[in-house]
Amino acid sequence: MDPEAAPQRLQTIERHILDQQERFPEATGRLTSLLYDIALSAKLIARETTRAGLANILGATTGINVHGEIQQKLDVYADEVIFRMNDHTRRVCVMASEEHDELRRIPDHHQPGYYVLIYDPLDGSSNIDVNASIGTIFAIHRKITPGNGHGTEADVLQPGTALVAAGYVVYGSSTMLVYSTGAGVHGFTLDTSVGEFLLSHPDIRIPSPGKYYSINHGYEREWTPGIRTYVRWCQAQNEPDMQPLAQRYIGSLVADFHRNLLRGGVFLYPGSAANPTGKLRLTYEVQPLAYIAAQAGGYASDGLTDILDLQPKSLHQCVPFFVGNRDLVEQLEQTLAEHDRDALARYRTVRDAV
């Protein structure tokens, strides 16, 4: 080690959030505290993910969530940790979790706050038993209904353009929290020896050109002609002068998104003829990651529209999701417009009727 080299500045996530707050003279500190509570929740969830095989956490419960999926024990734990961390702080007026059919309301004996917290407590939970990466996704809106009372569904069903903050946590070889409050994207890695998230990836920008495309080839027989054509374009099958993109797919949305955010690329989760809206939930998964992508210089689309412009119609509404480098997603939109006109029209009808 060069003794003359200047030491790298260490900055905890708490310090970073406070520094971000100082840019806004009107800030009250409520959002700062809410973000730090989410970081604390992530520490508790990370502790259990790293010892899951030793603590009777691995495996399924007997519960079925609203989407008909068997809940993993760690799903239930993560869901409850996030809720209990925020149900009494006077910062949140209502919560919505991917694991629950209805809103998660603040108990009557606690005073509600001014923010709405939407979260997917444990994305990619089918990877738990094989020790692959999983994650947490969160989004924060301001309360828009009048008065100082509890939040309503209208407060949750806001477009992505109204977000005040969003982020995700990856639980993998290390635990990393990535967030934005509209002033760039910043990543923090958990140092387990001191129990703090330390700034490791300041001002993240999606690199260009992108390196990867991410899609589940197992569903290829359900792809529309436009998706097939676009994937062949990614592989440069008919473009001898183009460098092909490498294919990577983990099966955990957070992990696939995170890799492409840091390395460049495009993630695709299309609909199908039988299910034109796909499986990813607009409010819990798609909006927050679209917000992060936009803040990092990228772009997210449902094939027709910027994801952030979509007005949610229901708590568990699903949409196709294409996100990554702007040029790659715009190329996809152009390809779908040329090859999937009928499919896009059917999807638009279903989406707008939800």
Strand 212-214 with 265-269, pairing:
parallel
Q: Which fold has domain 13-201?
A: Fructose-1,6-Bisphosphatase; Chain A, domain 1 (3.30.540)
Q: CB under 8 Å to 139, separation ≥6 — which residues?
A: 117, 118, 119, 163, 165, 166, 283, 284, 287, 288, 291
Domain boundaries, the chain: 13-201, 212-353
Which residue reads 């007997």 in tokens? 62
Determine which helix (DSSP H) or strand (DSSP E) holds 234, and give its type and residue range.
helix 225-234
**8 A C-beta contact, residue 196 and residue 13:** yes
Quick: pLDDT tens for 113-170.
999 999 999 998 777 777 788 999 999 999 999 988 899 999 999 999 999 999 999 9
Q: What is the dihedral of CA 121, 182, 200, 174, to 10 degrees?
A: 10
CATH 3.10.20.70 fits 212-353, yes or no: no
Which residue reads 């993993």 in tokens? 72
Half-sphere exposure of 211 (CA within 13 A, CB side): 12
pTM for the whole structure: 0.91
Mean pLDDT of 88-97: 96
Quick: pLDDT tens for 284-296.
999 999 999 999 9
